[in-house]
Structure 1
Amino acid sequence: MSLERTLTVRVERISRQTPEILAFELAHPWGRPLPGYEAGAHIDVHMPGGFSRQYSLARAPSGSGGYVIGVKREHASRGGSASMHERVREGDLIAISAPRNTFPLRAEARRHLLLAGGIGMTPLLAMAQALAARGADFTLCVFARSEEHLAFAEALHAPALAPHLKLHLDQGDATQRIDLRALLAERAPDTHLYVCGPGGFMQAVREAAAHWPEDALHTEYFAAPTGTAAATTGLPFTLKLARRGIEVPVAADQTAVDALHEVGIDIPVSCQQGLCGTCVVEGDGEGAEHRDFCLTGTERRTKVALCCSRAKGLDLVLQL
């Protein structure tokens, strides 16, 4: 696996947001600004125990240069969230990647509708703050179990966001709950929809927005949707690298990334589920069998996520 640039940061502050969610404020060890980013970006966090996980940046870019992430302690954790909750302390130094953004605000949108389920609010909170700062037309809908389970409540209720916020609490007043089908029944012109949350929430939104144009719906998944965890195996095919003028065979039980690594071609990878966009390259997207969850329909015409996608036919042309 190839490695991207890593940064060392200090854990400046850890604050409990809900019984299950901690917020981590990360800063440069010497007080310098960290690399800039746009709302919707995420970082890889390398934590004690050898784990690496992706977390969205939960604050709009600011002059301070620090990062904020929210980490939910998952009961079925494979070790990542448990490590962050149990082993990381204020003052610790940890390694992270530079920010990447596969979930950006769309410049062509005149109106933005942000739907956040649980901890999925982290990238959407940053988006809402950025939109409020520029005076944009947007609505932020946050779905949570109860007030007790509402992360970053202080930021959500800040004067800049409060007029744009709709709050759905499962255990709250029934009259204030949001009907997804009613909310998404009609799409105002040039409105773009951004969604992040648990798998069941994502599926419910997708079903309610099934009539929306594909390129107006933007999603960020925590993990590959249940039942679709993209199998990387399939028929063998050949990668044709246009810039190098060479061909690389990909076996039936091999990913395109692994095949390229075997011949010494460095392709960065991270999640290996088609979620984070690290391994996306330019290529003949029309000839690919796409199995990712990070590219839009338009992007799939000219880009391919190599960690999981395969060729529709015998070969796939890449701009490598």
Structure 2
Amino acid sequence: MSLERTLTVRVERISRETPEILAFELAHPWGRALPGYEAGAHIDVHMPGGFSRQYSLARAPSNAVSSYVIGVKREAESRGGSASMHERVREGDLLAISAPRNTFPLREEAGHHLLMAGGIGMTPLLAMAQALAARGASFTLCVFARGEDHLAFADALRNPALAPHLRLHLDQGDASQRIDLHALLAERAPNTHLYVCGPGGFMKAVREAAAHWPEDTLHAEYFAAPTDANTGTGLPFTLRLAQRGISVPVAADQTAVDALHEVGIDIPVSCQQGLCGTCVVEGDGEGAEHRDFCLTGSERRHKVALCCSRAKGRELVLQL
């Protein structure tokens, strides 16, 4: 497999959305169109200091994509990525990014889309809401924020096309500005799909409130692997590569990606937490111990995220 395509973009505009969030508009250095994408997509951004982070595209795609918009929250416990974007990136700078990819798409089979955004998790869901509004689809956008001052992309939310579909929850507001998660998710209307993105605590609360929903109707995008995620080591096993007719051993303290890299087989990786889907390949998903957060239940039957998942038994068959 070859490395993913890398693009060079210019930082056209930086705007402050909240005390902690900056919006970055990225365009082609020579004004050319950028690769298209679908709502829910994200890009890898390679930034000063050698950091690489994934950021969702916060605007619905158009026929000719002139720029990408991302939102970056300055995290108090940043490992360096958000600090680099806030402190070292300036308008006019050139950045390397990946082409957009989408592990969090809108589901065409859904009759109604319930979008639930916590804080900066609004970025992919805002793009989804804009796309759904443009095609007259049925949806509800629930945005959760601490208060008005912490509401990112507020101008976009004021668009008349979104107003009938928007429910706003403000922690610092009065009772009329709060949404009861359990009441909201207690009953699932027929053919409704739920999409959620936000901080870990918010994600956990939504997942618990929607625990009775069918697995394939709940779609989530995480910023980081949950703190209780099983991402440790395991027993050694063997990867059987069906197309090559070879087997590759994976040690107990080694990932499948690292084992394949050691024998010269290139598997692109990015987040290395099972969040972004870069390393997903076709394979015997039934034989995998899935530890990712990007595949649906049905996808896990025939796909595997190699950066974190292991074999249930002694062997895992991949279509490589």
The TM-score by the shorter chain falls in which range?
Answer: over 0.9
1:37 is aligned to 37
1:182-231 Cα offsets, whole Å, 9 max, x none, are 00011011100000000000000001001000000000000000121612
2:139 is aligned to 138
Q: Structure 2: how far apart are the matches of 1:297 and 1:144? A: 30
Measured after TM superposition, the shift of residue 288 of structure 1 is 0.2
1:264 is aligned to 264
1:110-164 Cα offsets, whole Å, 9 max, x none, are 1000000000000000000000000000000000000000000000111111110
1:105 is aligned to 106
1:24-61 Cα offsets, whole Å, 9 max, x none, are 00000000010000000000000000000000000000
- Counterpart check, 1:79 vs 2:80: yes
1:77-112 Cα offsets, whole Å, 9 max, x none, are 111000000000000000000001000000100100
2:95 is aligned to 94
Measured after TM superposition, the shift of residue 3 of structure 1 is 3.9
- Counterpart check, 1:295 vs 2:295: yes
The aligned amino acid for 2:220 is: T
Q: Structure 1 pair 261/41, CA: closer, same or farther in 2 (3 Å)?
A: same
Number of aligned residue pairs: give it. 319
Measured after TM superposition, the shift of residue 12 of structure 1 is 0.2
Q: Any residues of structure 2 matched to 1:200-219 within 5 Å, and which?
A: 200-219=201-220
Q: Any residues of structure 2 matched to 1:239-250 within 5 Å, and which?
A: 239-250=239-250
2:9 is aligned to 9
Q: Is the 8 A contact 2:55 2:72 kept in 1?
A: yes
TM-score by length of 1: 0.98
Q: Structure 2: how far apart are the matches of 1:237 and 1:120? A: 37
Q: Is the 8 A contact 1:36 1:65 kept in 2?
A: no
1:312 is aligned to 312
1:147 is aligned to 148
Q: Structure 1: how far apart are the matches of 2:51 and 2:230? A: 20
2:284 is aligned to 284
Structure 2 SS opposite 1:61: coil
Structure 2 residue ranges without an equivalent (≥5)? none
1:220 is aligned to 221
The aligned amino acid for 2:275 is: L
TM-score by length of 2: 0.98
Q: Is the 8 A contact 1:2 1:269 kept in 2?
A: no
Structure 1 SS opposite 2:190: coil
Q: Structure 1: how far apart are the matches of 2:231 and 2:182? A: 28
Q: Is the 8 A contact 1:18 1:149 kept in 2?
A: yes
The aligned amino acid for 2:57 is: L
Q: Is the 8 A contact 2:35 2:65 kept in 1?
A: no
Structure 2 SS opposite 1:25: strand
Q: Is the 8 A contact 1:40 1:102 kept in 2?
A: yes
Structure 1 residue ranges without an equivalent (≥5)? none
1:273 is aligned to 273
